[in-house]
Structure 1
Amino acid sequence: MDQRTELSEFLRSRRARLRPEDVGLRDTTTRRRVPGLRREELAQLAGVSTAYYTRLEQGHGENVSAAVLDAIARVLRLSAAEREHLGRLTKPARRRSGRAAARVQRVRPELQQLLDAMEGVPAYVLGRRLDIIAWNRFGTALLGDFDAMPPEQRNMAWQVFLDPAARELYQDWEGKANDLVGMLRLDAGRDPDDPRLASLIGELSVKSEDFRRLWATHNIQDKGHGTKHLHHAVVGDLSLQYETLRPAGDTDQVLVTYHAEPGSPSAESLRLLASWAATERQAGSVGRGTERTSGAEEAEQAR
């Protein structure tokens, strides 16, 4: 990923989404050739010269100070994740090497044991580039049988953009897809030299028009919490809360869990889903724990 190009396009996209009135300016022109703030308007509000900001927006951010970045981020109304991304794009010397970014991802045995013990909670672990590197059986019952998937498909972005079943599962597919693209953008800023991430982005760009459209927006999104509305083929509609937790010892991994409000219809539906999954497991259609562990390692070997 070319850092100068990314910096230029990111700043332009953030500037384009603001109107003069959004930042307390009165627009005295009847028509603007391009949407958003002008460079000189942003520079004035940030307290820098137009020439200085223009150079920055052209991708020359090597010597920009933290104070200037903070001022520009304030004017552009950047989120915390966007501010982090901007900082990484202007400080390429701090980025992780391609070898470090591509190292094998493994969860601690204790974390896998925790996943397996969460029998009533669908859960999985995401690693770098949104790879699905660990999960529990209830997670596969809710989101898909990760054990049975080819290693290269055990990736949340791959699932959402290239598996047609995802459009049936996520009722707000557009919102889910937009969030994932924002997360990949954030990962790309952290690890611009990761060859596996570049390969994934290339595959999604070639095979998915929706991915190309959303990637061009330069959305930045960190993993968080909220509500997901799902339509499951077995139990129907579900309204679930999801939480993202960061296990100690590896900042590249996040544990994602789903739960329903106690006493709600979705809680009953989850109970029915757990019963169905147990029946399927007894029939031998759900993978065993040993298969799951080897599958996660197989995914890394295939990437």
Structure 2
Amino acid sequence: MSKQPVTPEAPHALRRRSVSVVLAVMAVAAVFHFGTGAAEAAPRSANATTAVLQNTPAATIPEIGQAGPDAEDNRISIDLDLEALVDDSDPTATGEDAKPSKSILILVSLTLLSLAPSLLICMTSFTRIVVVLSIARNAIGLQSIPPNQVVTGLALFLSLFVMAPTIKDINDNALQPYLSGEIQQAEALREAEDPIKDFMLSNTRSDELNLMISASGEERPEELTDLSLMTVIPAFILSELKSAFIIGVMVLLPFLVIDLVVSAGLMSLGMMMLPPTFVSLPFKLLLFVMVDGWALIAQSLIANFK
């Protein structure tokens, strides 16, 4: 068998293997050496830390609840700048001449926006108007025409029209003097309460008012304006609902007559399978358009408020 010739690269491969073995041995020795040193240093570090803690005086660690000589310096305090609640644009404005700051105005505006739906429903003519318009729509036989958004929008603007004198009175006597710094917040609220209370009392029936006075346990004052809003507002809402239903009955009667006539005609013709509402709807719409129903209802609603 012939021997393979030795290539020139064989001595170089042997030399590389020898160098690799030497480096591996050195790496193992280094790991063993440094690992032993770290293990010996760990107990020494722990002993040094324990000695430092033992030599620390107990007085340097404050206890919770103890008051030392520097306790007043360590107290947490919060400084409230109450003078910042007034407008700093006028440095000479103090006391009654001080205008409300922008933060107070923003707070008041957000409060009014959050309470606006309740105020609109409970303390204005909105309740009566929206109920009457809804009854008129149902009397015609159109459940969703006009849409709820249209009915609500019409009721809203009619309410603003009715409440315009009251709103103007509140703006002139309460809002503008408060914004100009002539009156304080408490006085502005009293000035705003009087016009709205006068409006509610002038449109509230005596029966509902007496009911709420007796339910609240208050004595009937000589002047109705001395009643609290907690008594006047529920009485006003009950009175508005009663007025709305009375007007609604008057609106329903003509359309009820049309339904009865159409039903009797269909019965006489033997067309019992034909729905009377389907036949009476064109006649209802014709009657409502001929008398200009929406304008007539709006005019009647506006004229009923005092």
Shorter chain as denominator, the TM-score bin is: under 0.3
Answer with 1 or 2: which has the greater Rg: 2
After TM superposition, the score normalised by the length of structure 2 is 0.22
More helix by share: 2
More strand by share: 1
